[in-house]
């Protein structure tokens, strides 16, 4: 079913301004609908207190809504138990929590792809420096798709964790996660998926995937910034060391000892972003009401229109598979002889088309290919239209002609 884009756009205040932007920077952060903004405000206006501590009615209201938000996250991703959902600040914090708590030691191997966001690269590089854990990279195919042969050759019993980006923010490509998870489990390894770019755009069924650990961020799926989540199978979380200790992580202390709280509280130290979690839950409700299958179809339609539209631009190279159905809502590209930064600045000024330029926090990939200026990345979502894509294509053509004169 086609999305009712006009109806969706009416929910986003910034898109109802006198001169709305053409916002194609959704892989960085999505816009927020009024429904999410209202739920955030609801916390601050109606029950602005602490969860799980005091016994008065405001505290009870926070506790109930915070608990309800956690269970909504569980249902959205089809996790087994609410206790397996840990609220974090973002995907980055979730991955760092795992890297510091999993107890990996010298000689253990962590495998990643060659397209990782710094959030799923830096923790393993630093762990390698501190503990002697070996970080190895699975090289991609020439079109940037996943190389299963390379992966299978690198798998052995010393690989303790396979930590990979599910859908890449670099080019929108999604790895064959189910096959990867099965192969890793056959070798006794755990699997963690960075779901920051997959969760907003496609159905993620944690039970079906049988993934051990999964992380995502609210700000990439219509929710507030500063809130995210880590899912982990309960038997893994029970063994995970905490690295942030304090209030709410314990049920009792003495001058010489402590008793840790159960899941998930032991990983949520101090007062939490209650408004963020409640707003995140509202964002999931909104996505659910639109429908993830319809979202994926809409993004493909727009990406196909973009891909066809730029074919005539001499020297334009798309990063990743050429088939737009394999790139979600992302088109990342370079243009020979033209700076990515110049393109995005000119399109912003001339046509109010807002995109991102640079390395997209995937510096390692660009450095390995000698692309010091990175790329232009156009990324679409539920409120973007075919007319906006046409404006983008025509504006891009004019910009390239301008810089080549």
Cα three-residue angle 87-91-92, rounded to 5 degrees: 115
Residue 53 tokens, joined? 């501590």
Q: How far is CA 360 from CA 65, 339, 366, in A?
A: 35, 15, 9
Q: Which residues contact 205 (CB under 8 A, 6 or more apart)?
A: 77, 78
Separation between Cα atoms, residue 354 and residue 345, nearest integer Å: 8
Name the nearest CA neighbour of 97 among 244, 228, 264.
244
Under DSSP, the state recorded for 338 is B
The answer to whether 216 is a known catalytic residue is no
Coil vs helix vs strand at 52: coil
Name the nearest CA neighbour of 119 among 89, 152, 92, 142.
92
Separation between Cα atoms, residue 305 and residue 45, nearest integer Å: 44
Q: What proportions of the chain, in percent to the nearest 5, are helix, strand and coil?
A: 45, 15, 40
Under DSSP, the state recorded for 229 is E
Separation between Cα atoms, residue 333 and residue 316, nearest integer Å: 7
Separation between Cα atoms, residue 363 and residue 123, nearest integer Å: 15
Q: Residue 54's CB: how many other CB atoms inside 10 A?
A: 13
Active-site residue, selected from the candidate residues 28, 50, 216, 361: 361
Residues annotated as catalytic are 361
């Amino acid at each position: 079913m086609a999305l009712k884009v006009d109806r969706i756009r009416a929910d986003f205040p910034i898109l109802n301004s006198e001169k709305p932007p053409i916002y194609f920077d959704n892989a960085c952060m999505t816009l927020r609908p009024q429904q999410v903004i209202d739920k955030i405000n609801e916390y601050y206006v109606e029950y602005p207190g602490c969860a799980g501590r005091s016994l008065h009615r405001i505290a009870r209201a926070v506790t109930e809504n915070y608990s309800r938000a956690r269970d909504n996250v569980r249902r959205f991703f089809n996790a087994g138990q609410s206790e397996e959902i840990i609220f974090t600040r973002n995907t980055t914090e979730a991955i760092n929590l795992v890297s510091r708590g999993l107890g990996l030691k010298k000689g253990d191997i962590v495998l990643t792809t060659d397209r990782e966001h710094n959030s799923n690269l830096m923790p393993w590089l630093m762990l390698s420096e501190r503990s002697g854990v070996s970080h190895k990279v699975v090289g991609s195919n020439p079109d940037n798709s996943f190389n299963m042969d390379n992966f299978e050759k690198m798998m052995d019993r010393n690989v303790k964790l396979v930590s990979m980006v599910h859908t890449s923010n670099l080019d929108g490509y999604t790895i064959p996660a189910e096959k990867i998870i099965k192969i890793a489990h056959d070798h006794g390894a755990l699997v963690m998926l960075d779901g920051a770019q997959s969760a907003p755009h496609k159905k993620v069924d944690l039970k079906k995937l049988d993934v051990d650990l999964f992380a995502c961020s609210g700000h990439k799926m219509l929710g507030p910034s500063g809130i995210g989540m880590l899912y982990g199978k309960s038997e893994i979380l029970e063994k995970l060391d905490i690295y942030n200790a304090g209030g709410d992580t314990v049920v009792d202390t003495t001058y010489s000892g402590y008793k840790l709280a159960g899941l998930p509280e032991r990983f949520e130290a101090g007062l939490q972003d209650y408004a963020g979690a409640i707003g995140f839950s509202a964002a999931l409700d909104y996505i659910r009401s639109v429908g993830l299958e319809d979202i994926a179809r809409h993004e493909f339609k727009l990406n196909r229109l973009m891909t066809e539209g730029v074919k005539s631009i001499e020297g334009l190279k798309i990063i990743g598979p050429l088939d737009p159905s394999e790139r979600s809502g992302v088109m990342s590209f370079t243009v020979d002889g033209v700076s990515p930064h110049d393109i995005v600045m000119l399109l912003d000024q001339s046509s109010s088309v807002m995109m991102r330029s640079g390395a997209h926090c995937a510096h390692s990939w660009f450095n390995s290919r000698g692309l010091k200026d990175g790329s232009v990345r156009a990324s679409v979502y539920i409120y973007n239209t075919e007319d906006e894509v046409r404006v983008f294509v025509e504006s891009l053509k004019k910009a390239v002609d301008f810089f080549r004169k």
